[in-house]
Structure 1
Amino acid sequence: MGEREEQILNELIKDTSITSSKLADKYDLSRRQLGYTFQKINNWLTESQLPEIERTRKGQFIIDQSILTATVTSKVSPISNREVILSEVDRVKFLLIMILGGKEPLSLAHFTSQLSISKNTVLNDMKQAQNHLNAYQLEIQYSRKDGYQIEGDEFQARKVMIWLANDIILHSDEKEKLHEALQLEGSLLEQFHRRLERVENKLHIEFTDEKLMTMPTIFSLILRRIRKGFQIQPLSIRYDELSNTKEYQATEEILYDKSLPVPEKLFITLNLLTGSVHRNQLLIEDSIPDLVPAIDKMVRLFEKNACIIFQDREQLIDKLLQHLTPAYYRIKYKLTDAIVFESTYNEEFEQIRHLIKRALEPISEVMESKIPENEITYIVMLVSGWMHMQGESMTEKVKAIVVCPQGVSVSRLMFHQLKELFPEFVFLDSLSVREFLTYGLEYDVVFSPIALETEKNLFISKTMLRPEDKQRLRKQVMLEVYDYIPNEINVDDILKTVGQYADVNDEKQLRKELYAYIHRDENATITRQLSTSMELDLHEFIIPKHITLRESVPSFEDAIRLCAEPLLKSGHIEQHYVEAAIRHSQEDSYIAIGPHVAIPHAAPEDGVRQVGMSLLRIKNGVTYGEEGHQIKLMIMIAAVDKQQHIHALMQLMKVASSETILPKLVQANSKQYIHQLIEAYVRGS
Structure 2
Amino acid sequence: MSLDARTIKILQKLIVSNSYIEAAEIQKEFSISKRTFQYDIEKIDSELKIAGFSGIIKIRSKGFFLLGREKKKINEWLNSFVENTKVFTAMERKIRIFIYLTATPIRVVTEDLIEWNEVSRNTVLQDIKQLKEVLKEFDLEIGFNSKEGKIVLGNEKNIRLFFVFYCLNNEEIIENGDILKLIKNRVSINKDSLFSDISFVKGALFNIEKELQLKYTDEIFERLILIVSFFVERIKQGNYVNNEICEVEDVVEAADRLYQRFMEINSFIYDKAEINFLAKILLGANQIISSSKTEEKFVKCSKQIISDFERLACITFDQQEQLQNDLLLHLMPAYYRIKYQIEVINPSYQEIKKDYNDVFEITANALQAFKKLLDLKIPDSEIAYFSILFGGYLTQKKSILVTKKKVLIICSKGIGTSRMIEQQLRQLFPKQIELLEPMSYREYEENKVEADFIVSTLPLMSSDIPVFIVSPILNDQQKKGLIQRIAPHMLRAESDTSLLTTILETVAQFSIIEDREQLKEKLKLILFQTPIDNQAQTTPSIAELLPETRIQFKDSETNWKTAIETASDPLLKEGFISENYQKAMIKNVEKYGPYIIITPGMALPHAEPEDGAFKLGMSLLILKNSVAFSNKEKDKVKILIVLSSIDKYTHLNSLRQLTELVMKKEFLKKVIGMNSRREVFDLLKE
TM-score band by shorter chain is: 0.5 to 0.7
- Look up the equivalent residue of 2:74 and give its one-letter code: S
Q: What is the CA–CA distance in structure 2 between the aligned matches of 1:478 and 1:64, rounded to whole Å?
A: 59
Does the 8 Å contact 1:140/1:149 carry over to 2?
Answer: yes
Letter in 2 for 1:321: L
The answer to whether 1:296 aligns with 2:303 is: yes
Counterpart position of 2:9: 9
**Alignment correspondent of 2:43:** 44
CA separation of 1:228 and 1:131: change in aligned 2, threshold 3 A? same
TM-aligned CA deviation for residue 295 of structure 1? 0.8
What residue is the counterpart of 1:572 in the other structure?
A: none
- Counterpart Cα distance in 2 of 1:158 and 1:106: 19
The yes-or-no answer on 1:365 pairing with 2:461 is no
CA separation of 1:174 and 1:205: change in aligned 2, threshold 3 A: closer
> SS of the counterpart of 1:99?
helix
Deviations along 1:374-427, one digit per CA (max 9) or x if unpaired, are 11111111222223333698999xxxxxxxxxxxxxxxxxxxxxxxxxxxxxxx
CA distance, structure 2, for counterparts of residue 10 and residue 75 of structure 1? 12
For the pair 1:102 / 2:104, whether they are aligned, the reply is yes
> 1:197 and 1:41 mapped to 2: Cα distance?
44
State the distance in 1 between where 2:7 and 2:123 align: 20
Which letter does structure 2 place at the counterpart of 1:148? K
Note the C-alpha offset of 1:12: 6.0
Task: Name which structure has the greater RCO, CA cutoff 8 Å, separation 6+.
Answer: 2
SS in 2 for 1:141: strand
Q: Does the C-alpha gap of structure 1 residues 295 and 188 become closer, same or farther in structure 2, counting only changes over 3 Å?
A: same
Find 1:259's aligned residue among 241, 252, 269.
269
Task: Select 2:551's aligned residue among 457, 461, 472.
Answer: 461
TM-aligned CA deviation for residue 372 of structure 1: 1.1
Give how far 1:111 is off: 1.6
Q: How does 1:215-364 map to 2 (within 5 A)?
A: 215-234=224-243, 237-240=244-247, 245=252, 247-252=254-259, 254-257=261-264, 258-275=268-285, 277=287, 283-285=293-295, 289-341=296-348, 344-345=351-352, 349-364=356-371
In the TM superposition, residue 93 of structure 1 has moved relative to its aligned partner by 1.8
Q: Secondary structure in 1 aligned to 2:356?
A: helix
In the TM superposition, what is the alpha-carbon distance from 1:171 to its structure 2 partner?
Answer: 4.4
Taking the aligned partners of 2:11 and 2:379, their CA distance within structure 1 comes to 31
1:249 and 1:131 map into 2 onto residues whose CA distance is 36
Report if aligned partners of 2:359, 2:387 keep a CA contact under 8 Å in 1.
Answer: yes
What do the CA deviations read for 1:291-350 (whole angstroms, capped 9, x no partner)? 111110110111122232222312211111111111111101111245433672497732
Distance 1:149 1:524, change over 3 A: farther
Q: Is the 8 A contact 2:353 2:384 kept in 1?
A: no
Partners of 2:289 and 2:11 in 1: CA distance = 38
Q: Deviations over 1:200-231 (max 9, x none)?
A: 33443433333443434433322332343433
Task: Describe the superposition over 1:544-587 as per-residue Cα deviations: whole angstroms up to 9, x where unpaired.
Answer: xxxxxxxxxxxxxxxxxxxxxxxxxxxxxxxxxxxxxxxxxxxx
- Counting only pairs closer than 5 Å after superposition, residues 250-649 of structure 1 correspond to structure 2 as 250-252=257-259, 254-257=261-264, 258-275=268-285, 277=287, 283-285=293-295, 289-341=296-348, 344-345=351-352, 349-390=356-397, 443-446=539-542, 457=547, 459=549, 461=551, 466-467=556-557, 474-477=568-571, 484=575, 486=577, 519-522=585-588, 525-528=591-594
- Give the secondary structure class of the aligned counterpart of 2:235: helix
Indicate if the aligned counterparts of 1:203 and 1:250 stay in contact, CA closer than 8 A: no
State the match for 1:210 in structure 2: 219
Deviation at 1:72, TM superposition (A): 4.7
Shift in CA distance, 111/445, structure 1 to aligned 2, threshold 3 Å:
closer
> Structure 2: how far apart are the matches of 1:265 and 1:354?
38
Deviation at 1:65, TM superposition (A): 5.4
Q: Deviations over 1:144-181 (max 9, x none)?
A: 43322222332221111134554558346452443576
Which consecutive residues of structure 1, in runs of 5 or more, have no partner in the other structure?
18-30, 53-62, 397-439, 448-453, 490-514, 539-592, 598-610, 614-641, 658-685
Distance 1:11 1:86, change over 3 A: farther
Within 1, Cα distance between the matches of 2:222 and 2:364? 32
Q: Which residue of 2 aligns with 1:142?
A: 144
Whether the aligned pair in 2 keeps the contact of 1:459 and 1:477 (CA below 8 Å) is no
Q: Is the 8 A contact 1:130 1:140 kept in 2?
A: yes
1:74 aligned counterpart, secondary structure: helix
Question: Does the CA contact (< 8 Å) of 1:169 and 1:175 recur in 2?
Answer: no
Change in 2 beyond 3 A, CA 1:382/1:445:
closer
Q: Which moved more, 1:154-163 or 1:341-350?
A: 341-350
Q: Aligned partners of 2:226 and 2:578: how far apart in 1?
A: 68
CA distance, structure 2, for counterparts of residue 15 and residue 522 of structure 1: 55
- Is the CA contact (8 Å cut-off) linking 1:278 and 1:322 kept in structure 2? yes
Q: 1:231 to 1:243 in 2, by over 3 A?
A: farther
- The number of aligned residues is 451
Q: Percent identity?
A: 18
Residue of structure 1 equivalent to 2:175: 170
Q: Would you say the 8 A contact 1:193–1:216 is kept in 2?
A: yes
Contact 1:200 1:207 (C-alpha < 8 Å) held by counterparts = yes
Letter matched to residue 263 of structure 1: A
Q: Residues 25-64 of structure 1 correspond to what in structure 2 (within 5 A)?
A: 41-42=40-41, 44-45=43-44, 50=56
Candidates 77, 87, 90, aligned match of 1:88 = 90
Q: How big is the shift at 1:445?
A: 5.0
1:644-665 per-position Cα deviation (integer Å, ceiling 9, x unaligned) = x99xx99x989x99xxxxxxxx
* Conserved 8 A contact 1:445-1:458: no
Amino acid at match of 1:444: P
- Is 1:191 aligned to 2:200, yes or no? yes
Are the aligned partners of 2:140 and 2:153 in contact in 1 as well (CA < 8 Å)?
yes
Per-residue deviation, 1:192 = 2.2
What is the identity, as a one-letter code, of the residue corresponding to 1:210?
A: E
Query: Closer, same or farther in 2 for the Cα pair 1:73/1:526, shift >3 Å?
Result: farther
Amino acid at match of 2:43: W
- CA RMSD in angstroms comes to 5.2
Q: Answer whether contact 1:347 1:441 (CA < 8 A) is retained.
A: no
SS of equivalent to 2:348: coil
Seen in structure 2, the aligned counterparts of structure 1 residues 70 and 212 have a Cα distance that, compared at 3 Å, is same
Counterpart CA distance in 1 for 2:247 and 2:262 is: 20
Distance in 2 of aligned mates of 1:135 and 1:117 = 26
Q: What SS does the corresponding residue of 2:542 show, helix, strand or coil?
A: strand
Contiguous gaps of at least 5 residues in structure 2? 18-29, 49-54, 400-422, 428-535, 603-621, 627-631, 635-661, 676-686
Read off the aligned partner of 1:251 and give its amino acid letter.
L
Greater alpha carbon shift after TM alignment, 456-465 vs 265-274: 456-465
Q: SS at 1:142's partner residue? A: strand
CA contact (8 A) 1:475 1:486 kept: no
The AA in structure 1 aligned to 2:175 is L
Query: Does the C-alpha gap of structure 1 residues 537 and 128 become closer, same or farther in structure 2, counting only changes over 3 Å?
Result: closer
* Post-superposition offset of 1:368: 1.6
Distance 1:51 1:457, change over 3 A: farther
